[in-house]
Amino acid sequence: MSAFANQLPIGLSIGAVLLLIALGLTFTFGQMGVINMAHGEFIMAGAYTAFLLGDLVPALPAAFLVAGTMGLILERAAIRHFYGRPLDTLLLTWGVSLVLQQLARDLFGAPNVQVPAPAWLSGGVGILPYNRLFIMGLAVAGVVAVWAYLTRTRLGRRTQAVVQNRRLAATSGIDTGRVDMLTFFVGSGLAGVAGVALTLIGPVGPALGTYYIVDAFLVVVAGGLGQLRGAVLAAAGLGLLNSYAEFWSDASLAKVIVLAAVIAFLQVRPQGMFVLRSRALT
């Protein structure tokens, strides 16, 4: 029973990391129709930023800026030419992800590296280690920040207008190109923060992002495209399911179980947990 209980913080921390990753994908994939396979490499960039700095506190804003800038460059240089063509964005960003992985191997080497956790994260409260609690706190802070940005700022309201109806927003005078740039910057930056969080769980390597990107897409789809609350619930559910499935079997079989569970859920609710409500002319 103690081993079973110990899986709870592991599952919640995995769900917290998936949530940080999915917050960015919720808009780039769920609302803008861009399948960004290079999102995983922004996670890797954030993790290597923490490795270079060696200190968790300055690594968080630095990773946000590094990964956000990478996303901004990708959007301006390539993705903006492929809006409305999701399959083309998939192929494009998949190629970019391979290039970034090879670049990481050239810069840091192929073997994984370990980022030491700060001393103040050693220990824990009951079955909850401080490092896992810190990751959950990051996810909560990320959700609150995204919610506040979308509902309390002018740029956030413009973002919601664009993702709900891009053409109507453009005819209303909103600079959709600027909104796209900002969306990619924030979403990619959150992936970088997730990369820093992952350094508290395990080693860092060039292929780090590939282990989480598919699960993050599953979170977005299961939660409902563009739905923040759906992403929160789906991330927690998939994190716990993956943790306990791996406890009962192994890592490979756990991935199969998670995928099968999502497919079964989508057979019942193909639109996900929540649906974006909008008015339509009838």
Average pLDDT per consecutive 10 residues, the chain (282 residues; last block may be shorter): 77 92 81 85 96 94 96 92 87 95 95 92 86 94 91 87 82 87 91 95 92 90 84 92 87 87 90 68 40
Number of domains in the chain: 1
Burial of 34 (0-12, 13-18, 19+ CB in 10 A): buried
Domain contains 59:
yes
CA distance 43 to 22: 11
CB 29 within 8 A of CB 88: no
pTM, two decimal places: 0.91
The pLDDT of residue 19 is 93
Per the DSSP assignment, residues forming a β-bridge with 125 are 128
CA distance 261 to 254: 10
Question: What contacts 66, CB < 8 A, 6 or more positions away?
Answer: 45, 46, 49, 192
Domain contains 94:
yes
Domain contains 67:
yes
Domain contains 229:
yes
Per the structure, the complete domain to which residue 235 belongs is given by 2-112+124-268
CB 64 within 8 A of CB 50: no
The pLDDT of residue 10 is 87
Domain contains 62:
yes
The pLDDT of residue 169 is 86
The pLDDT of residue 270 is 86
Domain contains 118:
no
Domain contains 29:
yes
Per the DSSP assignment, residues forming a β-bridge with 113 are 204
Q: Is the dihedral of CA 95, 262, 230, 176 positive or negative?
A: positive
> Tokens at residue 79, please?
């993705």
